[in-house]
């Protein structure tokens, strides 16, 4: 350990960290290329060749040129996944529609009135509002 100073160890760890982060970024760019449905096959092939043959420059140019649309595709994918999850939960819970039916709402109001949570007047107003 005497022949490898602490500062050299620090620099080695920094370079390894930067190398790993660059690989992460490279895979992220390649994933984004194949996720983009608006770009044609030849354009994807061109970007892929640029990113693989000139890796550092290719990734940097890709982020400069297409970075904003990359973030928009991420947001759209997250929104689609959230919608699919909510639809799955609704389907699994047995409520396929987004809003419960009027019959279900009337039943809930009746249960609340029976439990004493609603007075007769509150029940009548809520029922009129629901049926209007």
What are the pLDDT digits (tens) for 89-115? 888 877 555 566 777 788 888 888 888
pLDDT at 81: 93
pLDDT per residue over 52-82, tens digit each?
A: 899 889 999 999 999 888 888 889 999 999 9
pLDDT at 96: 56
Rounded-to-integer distance, Cα 118 and Cα 112, Å: 6
Structure tokens at 121: 């007047």
Residue that is written with structure tokens 């000139």 in the block: 54
Residue that is written with structure tokens 């043959």 in the block: 53
Rounded-to-integer distance, Cα 73 and Cα 34, Å: 11
pLDDT at 55: 85
pLDDT per residue over 1-43, tens digit each?
A: 568 788 888 999 999 999 999 999 999 999 999 988 888 999 9
pLDDT at 99: 60
């Amino acid at each position: 350990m005497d022949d490898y100073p602490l500062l050299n160890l620090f620099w080695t760890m920094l370079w390894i960290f930067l190398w790993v982060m660059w690989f992460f970024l490279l895979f992220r760019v390649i994933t984004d290329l194949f996720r983009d449905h608006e770009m044609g096959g030849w354009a994807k092939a061109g970007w892929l060749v640029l990113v693989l043959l000139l890796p550092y420059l290719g990734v940097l140019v890709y982020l400069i040129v297409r970075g904003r649309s990359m973030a928009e595709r991420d947001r759209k994918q997250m929104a689609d996944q959230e919608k699919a999850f909510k639809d799955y939960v609704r389907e699994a819970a047995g409520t396929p529609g987004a809003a419960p039916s009027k019959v279900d709402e009337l039943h809930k109001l009746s249960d609340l009135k029976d439990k004493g949570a609603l007075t007769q007047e509150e029940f009548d107003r809520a029922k009129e509002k629901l049926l209007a």
